[in-house]
Amino acid sequence: MTAPAADLEIRLHRPGQRPKRVGFFGMSLKASVYGIVGLLLGVVVWMWKQNGWLGLTIIVGTVLVLLPMVIAPGGRSFYERTEHTMRWWSRKLNGSTVYRPGPHGRVPDGMYKLPGILNQTTMHMGRDYLGNDFGIIHRRRGDQYTIVLDCYPGGDEAVTQAQRDLMTADWGAYLAGIGLPGDVVLAAVTVEEIPATGHRLALEVEQDISNSPSELASAMMRQSAIQFPAGKQQTMARMAITFKAKTKEHRTEPEEMATDLARRLPALYEDLAGAGVEAVPMTAEEITAFVHRSYDPSSEPLLEELDIAGESHGIAWENAGAATRTEWNHFRHAGAVSVVWEMQAPPDSVFPDTILKPLLRPHDELTRKRLTVFYRPFSAGDAARSVNREYKDALNALNQKKGVKSAQDELRVEASEQARNEQVRGAGLVRYSALMTVTVDSMEALPTAASIHDALTARASLNVRRCYGFQDAAFAAALGIGINLADHSTVSSLGKN
């Protein structure tokens, strides 16, 4: 029996376009404005002040100032790179790249607080109207609250192409829906692999053989429970949704925000069923557990044993951190070494819905890895203004060029026009990015792990680069607990392209 031809057709997706404002000669709008001001000033001095040398000096100076802004390999101008490097060395000199918490550390209260941008967060609790407890991470800077959902994707092994297309469409509708209220600033989806301890499997086996009359069969089952998880990884998925407080009560009283989220939360995790994902809210204790084991991987077996036994781990959010040290291209934490990469650009061409499979599959050589995809949804009004502005800019860039138009400019017009049409028909508009983390036990294992990761990202058609100079912040953001790196940028906007 053969499947219908329509069911065998693989639907391809566009990566979207990076928003940009195009000025004269293909330069950015900001560089064009700077250039026009400088050139006009030089011409005015030359003609009206009768000072040709001064006017020429201003014009040449304007060109020299613009060149580092216009030349932007990898999407970052030389000004951005220079300022970023200077800020890194400033951190290195003042000692802020080393974090030593605890009674003998440099933290004033002697606690093991989370490092860096997580240091000023607090944990609160709530209960939705279905009776499920949930944790709330409050970030005082920006008045943002984050809830985390424990997700159980169904997989696609026994799913037809038509069903996968429907799930993908439902996922797009879900992202569009969470952007409608206007207070969701970030949604982060995290899929990670950690070494399998086998404790949970052993418990299930003991429960199954508790009434077994055969000692030989029971012994074989116990032995299998020990051998099967050896060298394997367990995959976990979660989704974090970050809300911005809109009222004074929500900004000052986390309990008020918890009451509001208790009303909205069930719809947020029940609506994921259409995308093939079962989800439940994570409690404050569960969130604290995975954050702590991420910074201190040696705690994984103990935390899992306590979870299986139904006992509390007793770790407060204020004590979930560990000693860390940030280097230019890697991050040390509690005896482990991690490297974080950021997505520099999406795939260059259309792609199927399975493009991320190489990164999501467990790998024997990468026992701890994490992929986090960030979505920043637009509200309905902002989405309409954004797609219209992008379409106008794309047309402007295309019409500026004489003769044969470049294929890149034509594709940008086509993509922006399609985005306008889809937005009018109810589709949502989101900005997206991704962070990938690999954690190893020693520096000696890092080159091999990095090489394997580069091969996996190449198979996924992703253009990535290391998060040079901000590995600690990227590691915290990649945990998927509501940290948006765009809110913590320290690079001045004056030198951006």
Two structure tokens written together for 90: 């400033």
pLDDT tens by residue, 277-320: 999 999 999 999 999 999 999 998 888 888 877 889 999 999 99
CA 166 to chain centre: 24
Decide if pLDDT at 124 tops 90: yes
Average pLDDT of the chain?
A: 81
Q: What is the pLDDT of residue 1?
A: 41
pLDDT tens by residue, 151-186: 998 876 677 888 888 888 888 889 888 888 888 999
Share of the chain above pLDDT 70, in %: 75
For residues 246-270, give the mean pLDDT: 90
Distance between CA 14 and CA 78 in Å, rounded? 30
Q: What is the pLDDT of residue 209?
A: 67
Decide if pLDDT at 2 tops 50: no
* Phi, psi (rounded to 5 degrees) for 33: -65, -45
Decide if pLDDT at 497 tops 90: no
Question: For residues 208 and 43, which has the higher predicted lDDT (pLDDT)?
Answer: 43
Decide if pLDDT at 5 tops 70: no
Decide if pLDDT at 6 tops 90: no
Two structure tokens written together for 364: 């024997």
Decide if pLDDT at 258 tops 80: yes
Q: What is the pLDDT of residue 140?
A: 86
pLDDT tens by residue, 393-434: 666 665 666 655 566 666 666 666 666 666 555 556 678 899
The pLDDT-based confidence of 27 (bands split at 50, 70, 90) is low
Q: What is the pLDDT of residue 111?
A: 86
* Lowest-pLDDT choice from 230-244, 261-275, 379-393: 379-393
Q: What is the pLDDT of residue 472?
A: 94
Q: What is the pLDDT of residue 59?
A: 75
Decide if pLDDT at 371 tops 70: yes
Share of the chain above pLDDT 90, in %: 35
pLDDT tens by residue, 452-472: 999 999 888 888 999 999 999
Question: For residues 50 and 279, which has the higher predicted lDDT (pLDDT)?
Answer: 279
Q: What is the pLDDT of residue 200?
A: 64
The pLDDT-based confidence of 374 (bands split at 50, 70, 90) is very high
Decide: 285 and 312 in contact? Cβ < 8 Å. Answer: yes
Q: What is the pLDDT of residue 128?
A: 92
pLDDT tens by residue, 71-83: 777 667 777 888 8
For residues 223-248, give the mean pLDDT: 79
